Amino acid sequence: MLAAGLTAFTSTSNADTQVETSYATSGISDLIWATEHLGYDSPADLQKAGVQVIHYILAGLSGMTDDECSLGLGSIIDASGPYTYTSTWTADEEAALDWVADHYCITTAQAQSYGGTILTFFAGLDAGENGTTAVRRDPPATTTTAAPTTTAAPTTTAAPTTTAAPTTTAAPTTTAAPALYDRFMG
């Protein structure tokens, strides 16, 4: 089974939907090769085009209306892994994504993975027909992003003190951290 994933960076409107699909290490080289072979900018574009191809063939050309949930693709397509690609769908385009997901009873992330797999298969057929050889590269490195941490120095405030003459009150006294350090530590 093919694994997929890059992120497309596009400006989006509030009506646009972004769908992330992740891919396992196995097959990612094929997905990236197919992306390059077919001239797409990223696997995010390839997986989106793949969904549109599935929709066009099934709904447009064949006029298929019955679902194919019995194929059990929901338990077969794994849309998780270290390589994640995000496709952006306009409201009009999203109709094709939803149709494919509903047709196979899979998630939209699985629909994108299936679309990427289908176009990877078609790219292989095209390469074979044209005598193109696929040079597999090692999978790209994965990166781990840690959330930034912020550390603030603790603050200490002494309670206000009132001093003696019946009509006189001294201003509150506050001790800063360096003064405490000097007094107790050094």
Segments making up each domain of the chain, as ranges: 17-130
pLDDT of residue 166: 52
Question: Six-digit token pair at 27?
Answer: 């097959």
| pLDDT averaged per 10 residues in sequence order, the chain, 186 residues | 41 79 92 94 97 96 93 95 96 96 98 97 92 77 55 51 50 40 38
d(CA 6, CA 23): 9
Nearest-CA neighbor of 6 among 30, 23, 18? 23
Question: Six-digit token pair at 82?
Answer: 């270290």
Contact 106, 77 (CB under 8 A): yes
- At 13-26, the pLDDT tens digits run 667 999 999 999 98
pLDDT of residue 140: 81
Question: Six-digit token pair at 67?
Answer: 């679902």
> Where do the H-state alpha helices sit in the chain?
28-37, 43-55, 73-76, 91-104, 108-130, 177-185
Nearest-CA neighbor of 43 among 26, 12, 20? 20
d(CA 5, CA 79): 9
- At 76-108, the pLDDT tens digits run 999 999 999 999 999 999 999 999 999 999 999
Which residue has tokens 């959330």?
A: 147
Distances (CA, A) of 48 to 21, 39, 71, 141: 10, 14, 22, 23
d(CA 93, CA 79): 20
Percent helix, strand, coil in the chain, to 5, is 45, 10, 50
Contacts of 144 by beta carbon, 8 Å cutoff, 6+ apart: none
pLDDT of residue 165: 52
pLDDT of residue 151: 46
